[in-house]
Structure 1
Amino acid sequence: MPDRIKKWVQGSLCAVRNGMRKFAFRLKAVWERLTGSVKRSRRKPEEETDHYPSDIEDNNEPELPADTARVHRVAPEKAGSSDHTKLFNSDEIKKADTKSGLKLNLEDEDEPFVPEPLFVERVALRPFPLAVLFTSVKFLIIIILLIGCAGLGAGLGIARAYVETTPSLDTAKLTKSDRTSFIYDKNGDLITSFANLEYRDWADIEDIPDMLKNAVIAVEDVRFYKHEGLDYKRLFSAVINTLRNSYAHGGSTITQQLIKNKILTSEQTYKRKIQEAYLALELERMTDKDIILEAYLNDVYLGESNYGVKTASQDYFGKALDELTVRECAMLAGLINKPYTYNPRTNMYKRKDMTSTDERTDKVLRDMYEAGFITKEQLNAALAEEVKILEVSAQKQMYDMPYFVEYAIRDVIDHLLLQRGMLDTIANRAQLENELSTGGYRIYTTVDPKIQHIVQETLSAWEQYPALADPAFSLKITTNADGSVQEIVQPQASAVVFDYHTGELRAVVGGRDTPTRKKELNRAYQSDMPIGSSIKPLAVYGPALDLGVSPATIIHNMEGEIEGYGGKGYPSIGSERWIGPVTVRRGVVSSLNVVAARTLFEYVTPEVSKEYLVNLGVDPSRINMDGPGLALGTSGFTPIEAAAAYGAIASGGEYKEPFSFTKVLDAEGNVILDSAKIRKNRQVFKKSTAYLLVDMLMDAVKSGTGTEARIDGMTVAGKTGTNSDYSSVYFAGMTPYYTAALWIGHDDYTPKLKRESTGGRYAAPLWKAFMEKIHEGLANAPIIDESPGNIGLVKRRVCSVSGLLATDACELDSSGHTPVTDWFVEEYAPTASCDMHVVVSVCGESGQQASTNCPEFKIEQKSVVLISSDSPYIEFERSVLKDAISNAVFTDIPIEQYRGGNYDPSGFCTLHGFNWSYASDLFGTAVGLISEAEELIRIVKAYMNSTPGLTWSETSSLNAAINNLEYEIIVGNASSISSAASQLTSAYNAVVAAHQDPYPTETPDVSPLPSPGPTDGFSFG
């Protein structure tokens, strides 16, 4: 508190205390006189002259004779000077005139002595009742005066205490009002204002028209430029009006109102009024009037969350301040007193009665006229003017592109937390959001309005969403915070478009329909559903390529345990087939689960895989460190994370942190955040790896599971994803311009989509629908415009069984495992030739190794695959291998021996084991055929007797064929004998093939594009 004020208060209190003390002494004297407590006794000279007060004794004056009295005389012209006392003896006193009772004045011996009377005649007392009445009245007056004085003293003491506890006066706080922030698109065009519960926009005093200033001054504080903070005349008038039970105006000045709004509260207490008055005086002493008025006009509440005249002008009239008419200025000024009662929008469109607003506005106009602010002509024109009020408040309208705007605000808060070293808590987020909404910030986002609207409109209008397995879950009922009930259609969808060249988000759509209220669920970042097979290029194949795997690396898509996978040892394949050894490219294109799982555990490891995902911007808390989580995609991704991660592939392996804003400016124009300076870019994949991933993902769209995402005339690469048990579907892909990720599923995850709902069938077509529109008019180009040779890639033709350089024997493979040509990183390219394929002579009739007894016209050259005891395939069961590699031969004979024609004798053709050449010479004669037929029967029966483990079906089949041949022998027809012998031979060969290690007959190639199916709760593409 300033010393001047303290001294003034202390002086006032001292004066009050002294006055009360004097008044108390006088009151005591009056009281004693009224009550007769002072007793009068007749004089006894002897006694009187013998008694001296103690104070005289204390003065050490000489004792006087007993018959001596002291008489004081006073000279009028020297009164108050020295003491003049004359002593009289008792005789002289007796001679005195006792009736006149005069006091002797002996001041000057030259002047005659005029004695004063010593006694006064007694006055007759009032009658007792009257005396009691008068005494009671006097007593009552005294009590009232005492209470009044006590109350005054107490009041001054309380006032002093209130003043001493007054908050400090911070003029910077008074003149710094909360300001609404604004959000802009990537072109710099305004999207919306951003406010919490208060809409504010600062206007400098010179930008506020004089007419509006005068209107406010006229109705709120007409002597604003004359008083020093308190308007005593207005205050007295307000008190009188209150006593008369009428209200014309308040007693507070503009300065007091500003103090109340910015420093104190609105509580109706004496403490607040005293502190308000004191601070108003101080503020006026310290601050210029225009500064006070500027702060007031920018802070005053004008209804419907509008604070300040600039915001209210836009909200009610849709006008800038310099466009306001006289009546509009008066209407705004009139709102200050009762903004709810005089609200023009509410009165015009809801209450349908503008009477209160018009009357208040007319009063303000008359006050302006009486104050000399407008002329008579201006008054009349304003009274007759009609004002147009906007029917819908801009503040209550839903802003454009709400999904992107709300994510951008969160993105800014995320980076402010990091910048300021604040913990990520609910309280800190609320604090920063309030700061953003009230600090006058300018947030420049990266949203492309055209792309955002295309994606939102496409998702809203799409009619081919998958049905739910149970239609009862097609609507999700939720209750909002305000108690209203909302129905949300299911399944839902979310999509994100990312410019991987700049690292900027172009569209963020968090639901099928445009939100109707603020802060609805934004699935683009608030929903982290499993990504399904879309994870494979990120968590499996990308890391594997970095570690030396190539698109032509051979992975065993065969039934067998995968070490480390858990459960039964390998993922289910659904409607896939065990198609044997396949290349990594085939695994990507056909989205083969077993290939992904084997690649993860045999080449990458879960630890390395997780590290890659974290570097790609995935939240580590949502990464499942197991086979299903990393190879099949049960880990949760947001669409924003997926789009940015695929962006790292498209941008040559460099991850660019996705930003939704370019910069954030404060109210003074200072740059608070600049994405170019804080973006975290990092090289995750080798450039060669990114090139190979793009190349394989392009094949997935051309001929694999993602064919529905193809866009005519535009390069597209991508990967489908189908989550566990058909809970949701995914597609993430890229073009030369953008990456985009799309999720479709139920918000509650548990309700499933109908069977056969795959990413290729439902997500890819919708992805194509909005991406095709986005790319209209754009030229095609490579996704990674780089020469393979410049990044260390070479092409090699390799065996599709061994993975080594292909030989002529590999080229002759007719079992579906022909050589492939693909890219390799040069340092990892194979240099050795295939050591598994070999060309042998095979009997075309039996499919077995030809013997010397086989007819030459039946012998042909065939490529077979040798499976030795040290082969990587030996871990699989033989039945699995027979299904996977139809021309497999199990032997430890060196391949060189096979190439030299030294075959395994046990593998010779059994059909032509007897002398078929001799039989052919006799062919046509029953005698010759019968002999050979009987020999055949003997061989088959001997085999049946010596071979354990024949099934009932096999035994029955052979017996039936033997019986048939024996019957034909009896008949004796040569042609019938030959036919029956052939049937027995075929049956015999089939049984032998099942129980020995022969060269199996060739089987057709399997389908290159198996359709996905259920996978025991895991995902497939």
Structure 2
Amino acid sequence: MGRAEERRARQRGGHRAAPQRRRSEPAAAGKPAKSLLRRVFTWKKILGTVFGVCLLAILGFVGLYLYVDIPEGNAAARQQSNVYKFSDGTVLARSGKVNREIVDLSKVPRKVQLTFVAAENKSFYSDSGVDFKGTARGLLNTLRGRGKQGGSTITQQYVKNYYLNQDQTVTRKLKELVISLKVDREKSKDDILAGYINTSYYGRSAYGIQAAAQAYFGVDAEDLTVEQGAYLAALLQAPSQYDWAVATDTGKRLVTERWNYVLDNMVEEDWLSKARRTAMHFPKIKEPKGAPGLDGQKGYLVELANQQLEQRLMEQDGLTQSQAENAVMEKGWTITLNIDRKKQAALEKAVRHELTGKLNKTKRKVDGDIQPGAVSVDPDTGRIVALYGGSNYYEHYVSNATRRDYQPASTFKPVILAAALEREATTQDGKPITADTVYDGSNRRPVLDHGRPVGFAPPNEDDVDYGPITVQQAMNKSVNSVFAQMGMDVGMDKVMSTASSLGMNTKGMQAVPAQTLGSMGASPLEMAGIYATFANHGHKVTPAIIKSAENQGRTVDLPDPVGGSVISRTAADTVTSVLTGVVDDGTASRSVAANPLRDGQQVAGKTGTSDENKSAWFTGYTPDLVTSVGLFGEDPKTHKHVSMTGATGLLPAPGRINGGGYPAEIWAAYTFGVTDRSEFELDTTQGAAVAPTETPTSEAPTPSRTPSHTPTSEPPTSSAPPSRTPSQTPSHTQTPSHTPSQTPSQTPTSEPPTEPATEDPLDPDDDFGQEWRTG
């Protein structure tokens, strides 16, 4: 019987229907039962769902497209002066009038127009005004909280600048997408390009290509060359970082790469011939000028406040640097600084009274090369309470408080000691490195790696041989040979890692022995932060100038300037203890310890003087205030680093500007006038601020410490008792600086070094003696 006949028979009742298979019975062979998952998620249902979602998205976008209109352009109207206040609420400054002048696109040379297209959006003339892939990536990043968007077209950037704002929200991005599509349909490409180059921010308070052409090249937009246009187009990616006149080496490298990228794209698009491209050279950039209303120190304070706010917006909102600058400049912010009016006035007075009032560039050319900078920080809160950026923001645009192009010299030595203490490092024969450890302080002593020279033998200042000397004495006298060897003992990679943890920007720095002399670049701001971390018992201090920042009802969430512990309290306090010896018995004794304003105040600090006397430093602190003062030699015309020797007519010859001289004098005149008398609370048994708690051993130093001359008596002890307790009120009769105040327990065979007649005997400092003597 066939299946059809059997089915009809069952319907007639001729046969009993086959019993249903029980659930427990296996399925017929070759026909397995479908699982619940397969019954629910069928291909038809999945495809239907995807189709439905796509349809809803399309309908939603169509609705959004119909709902969102092109708003009235309002770029100029949105520009509002920022207000900057002192910590007590009194007004410091208001940003000046917006520097903007709209020019017709016909006034901009055609190839200059194309530099912007080559830089930002090569498909500009053929696309629909939107980079859908980049926008989708930006939306996804925003939803994930990652912030920074993907690529966007010139049209989209113009829409942000002219119709919307820089907010990184899904709503704003969707509006940008729709408005960009509509603008591309309703406006010509030339109108869009003109709007873009006229509304973009180029740095130097310049909005639009005409203001930028004047700010960077001193010409009108119609007179720009292709090379100059390519620079302005490159500049838009990061205006402040890429400003050649103030850029770091990294910034200069990046803007040069971007400039080349723009021109190479023009060649690729046949907008520029290879021959002409090959003949092009990077353009000369005009010196910047301060914005109106920011004279004196105001400009330096405002500049740092803007930079720190921009950095915070980049971290918090995911803005690019260009977007962050655009979001801050002239957008109606009320920014209250941590700057204390009285301390700020006191710092300015100290610089004027102790240094700048003594400079006479008509009488001595070198006096015109002296650039002072200083930063003062409360170590408990991390607040920048005073800052000195230079003689005048109009006269010297670069802030000496934040510039990183000069060597910190021997002010870096405490970082080496901190690395040794934090990592419980030992000498190469296994002896713990402490304040009492004896090293060979011989001049030009080769640095050894387990007995093998590493090719570095630094001179001590004025080629002085110290022989066996404790770490404490070596810090007091700033003995290069000791800290060069200590860096090798600790490991230079570990030293630089500690420097980074303390707040130094070590990116791109090599971990080589020469860094022990502070041969890298650093700013007074950085050094103040490092020493504030020591003062705050090892808790990381990142100096902050902003107290609050508000804009149209929004208050920016600012991070705590004081973070967690980056080195142990014992290590930090030991460094502080050792640095009190520098003040009481070392290179800062004359200017700080003997200062009549001191009145028993405990002080820790370190001097520094770089190669060829191009920079001089004193970074010091009391328990409640850390201040780093730097003097920098800079040719005002070429901006090259030059020697400061002979400035102010300093005698005796050769008139070297030491860290223990003017920098320490500025520091003392300022600090002792504003600090509250207090004592350090130190958790350590080492250093100049505490008495030794155990009897030093008398074991001989390792072979790597063997002096260049043979002692007549027994090997030196690992410690020598201090001549007095530095934490006590100092006497005003100081030991000459090249005669160690803490004498080792044995006498070398050679006679004590005589002091050169040309040197100030009360202020030995630091790094390269022979070069100074002959140069």
**Could you tell me the TM-score, scaled by structure 2's length?**
0.52
Q: Is the 8 A contact 1:534 1:732 kept in 2?
A: yes
1:716 corresponds to 2:616: no
Higher RCO (CA < 8 A, seq sep 6+): 2
Change beyond 3 A, Cα 1:672–1:713: same
Change beyond 3 A, Cα 1:1017–1:621: farther
Task: After TM superposition, list the pairs within 5 Å mapping 1:96-115 onto structure 2.
Answer: none
1:774 corresponds to 2:674: yes
Change beyond 3 A, Cα 1:413–1:1013: closer
The one-character-per-residue Cα deviations of 1:147-182 (angstroms, maximum 9, x if unpaired) are xxxxxxxxxxxxxxxxxx9x9353797998543332
Identify the residue that residue 317 of structure 2 maps to in structure 1.
420
SS in structure 1 of the partner of residue 410 of structure 2? helix
Post-superposition offset of 1:620: 1.6
Task: After TM superposition, list the pairs within 5 Å mapping 1:83-94 onto structure 2.
Answer: none
SS in structure 2 of the partner of residue 675 of structure 1? coil
Identify the residue that residue 735 of structure 1 maps to in structure 2.
622
Q: Is the 8 A contact 2:610 2:767 kept in 1?
A: no
Task: After TM superposition, list the pairs within 5 Å mapping 1:117-516 onto structure 2.
Answer: 168-170=69-71, 177-194=78-95, 197=98, 398=295, 401-424=298-321, 428=322, 431-463=323-355, 473-474=365-366, 489-511=368-390, 513-516=391-394
Post-superposition offset of 1:650: 0.6
Change beyond 3 A, Cα 1:724–1:467: farther
SS in structure 2 of the partner of residue 474 of structure 1? helix
- Which whole-Å CA distance do the structure 2 matches of 1:702 and 1:450 have between them? 28
Change beyond 3 A, Cα 1:184–1:750: closer
The partner residue of 2:525 within 603, 626, 640 is 640
Change beyond 3 A, Cα 1:464–1:436: closer
- Which whole-Å CA distance do the structure 2 matches of 1:887 and 1:190 have between them? 68
Identify the residue that residue 460 of structure 2 maps to in structure 1.
573
Change beyond 3 A, Cα 1:579–1:520: closer
- Which whole-Å CA distance do the structure 2 matches of 1:783 and 1:403 have between them? 32
Q: Amino acid of the residue matched to residue 664 of structure 1?
A: A
Post-superposition offset of 1:192: 2.3
Change beyond 3 A, Cα 1:642–1:179: same
Aligned-pair RMSD on alpha carbons? 4.2
Identify the residue that residue 248 of structure 2 maps to in structure 1.
none
Q: Is the 8 A contact 2:373 2:388 kept in 1?
A: yes
Post-superposition offset of 1:690: 1.5
Q: Amino acid of the residue matched to residue 550 of structure 1?
A: T
Task: After TM superposition, list the pairs within 5 Å mapping 1:905-916 onto structure 2.
Answer: none
Identify the residue that residue 649 of structure 1 maps to in structure 2.
534
Identify the residue that residue 495 of structure 2 maps to in structure 1.
609
Identify the residue that residue 753 of structure 1 maps to in structure 2.
644
Q: Amino acid of the residue matched to residue 684 of structure 1?
A: V
The partner residue of 2:439 within 533, 539, 555 is 555
Post-superposition offset of 1:474: 3.2
Identify the residue that residue 31 of structure 2 maps to in structure 1.
none
Task: After TM superposition, list the pairs within 5 Å mapping 1:915-934 onto structure 2.
Answer: none
Change beyond 3 A, Cα 1:468–1:875: farther
Change beyond 3 A, Cα 1:675–1:555: same
Task: After TM superposition, list the pairs within 5 Å mapping 1:824-839 onto structure 2.
Answer: 834=698
The structure that is helix-richer by fraction is 1
Q: Is the 8 A contact 1:465 1:491 kept in 2?
A: no
Q: Is the 8 A contact 1:628 1:634 kept in 2?
A: yes
- Which whole-Å CA distance do the structure 2 matches of 1:596 and 1:409 have between them? 38
1:744 corresponds to 2:631: yes
1:695 corresponds to 2:577: yes
Which structure has the bigger radius of gyration? Answer: 1
Identify the residue that residue 528 of structure 1 maps to in structure 2.
405
Aligned residues: 457
The one-character-per-residue Cα deviations of 1:948-1000 (angstroms, maximum 9, x if unpaired) are xxxxxxxxxxxxxxxxxxxxxxxxxxxxxxxxxxxxxxxxxxxxxxxxxxx99
Q: Is the 8 A contact 2:440 2:705 kept in 1?
A: no
Post-superposition offset of 1:397: 7.0
Post-superposition offset of 1:658: 1.2
- Which whole-Å CA distance do the structure 2 matches of 1:732 and 1:464 have between them? 19
Change beyond 3 A, Cα 1:874–1:623: closer
- Which whole-Å CA distance do the structure 2 matches of 1:567 and 1:466 have between them? 44
Identify the residue that residue 543 of structure 1 maps to in structure 2.
419
- Which whole-Å CA distance do the structure 1 matches of 2:539 and 2:551 have between them? 32
The one-character-per-residue Cα deviations of 1:399-448 (angstroms, maximum 9, x if unpaired) are 87332122111111122122233444xxx1xx433432443222121111
- Which whole-Å CA distance do the structure 2 matches of 1:550 and 1:674 have between them? 39
The one-character-per-residue Cα deviations of 1:434-493 (angstroms, maximum 9, x if unpaired) are 432443222121111111122123323434789899987537xxxxxxxxxxxxx32111
SS in structure 2 of the partner of residue 733 of structure 1? strand
Post-superposition offset of 1:607: 0.2
Identify the residue that residue 231 of structure 2 maps to in structure 1.
none
- Which whole-Å CA distance do the structure 2 matches of 1:889 and 1:704 have between them? 25
The partner residue of 2:702 within 851, 869, 872 is 872
Q: Is the 8 A contact 1:451 1:774 kept in 2?
A: yes
SS in structure 2 of the partner of residue 742 of structure 1? strand
Q: Is the 8 A contact 1:721 1:729 kept in 2?
A: yes
Identify the residue that residue 48 of structure 1 maps to in structure 2.
none
Post-superposition offset of 1:673: 3.0
The one-character-per-residue Cα deviations of 1:490-523 (angstroms, maximum 9, x if unpaired) are 2111011011110111112111x23347x82111
SS in structure 1 of the partner of residue 462 of structure 2? coil
1:625 corresponds to 2:507: no
Identify the residue that residue 765 of structure 1 maps to in structure 2.
665
1:675 corresponds to 2:559: yes
- Which whole-Å CA distance do the structure 1 matches of 2:704 and 2:328 have between them? 66
- Which whole-Å CA distance do the structure 2 matches of 1:497 and 1:506 have between them? 6
Identify the residue that residue 145 of structure 1 maps to in structure 2.
none
The partner residue of 2:481 within 579, 591, 594 is 594
Post-superposition offset of 1:577: 3.4
1:887 corresponds to 2:766: no
Change beyond 3 A, Cα 1:557–1:197: same
Change beyond 3 A, Cα 1:465–1:745: farther
SS in structure 1 of the partner of residue 547 of structure 2? strand
Q: Is the 8 A contact 1:546 1:685 kept in 2?
A: yes
1:1011 corresponds to 2:767: no
- Which whole-Å CA distance do the structure 2 matches of 1:176 and 1:752 have between them? 49
Q: Amino acid of the residue matched to residue 666 of structure 1?
A: N
Change beyond 3 A, Cα 1:423–1:435: closer
The one-character-per-residue Cα deviations of 1:306-350 (angstroms, maximum 9, x if unpaired) are xxxxxxxxxxxxxxxxxxxxxxxxxxxxxxxxxxxxxxxxxxxxx
Identity %: 19
Change beyond 3 A, Cα 1:889–1:705: closer
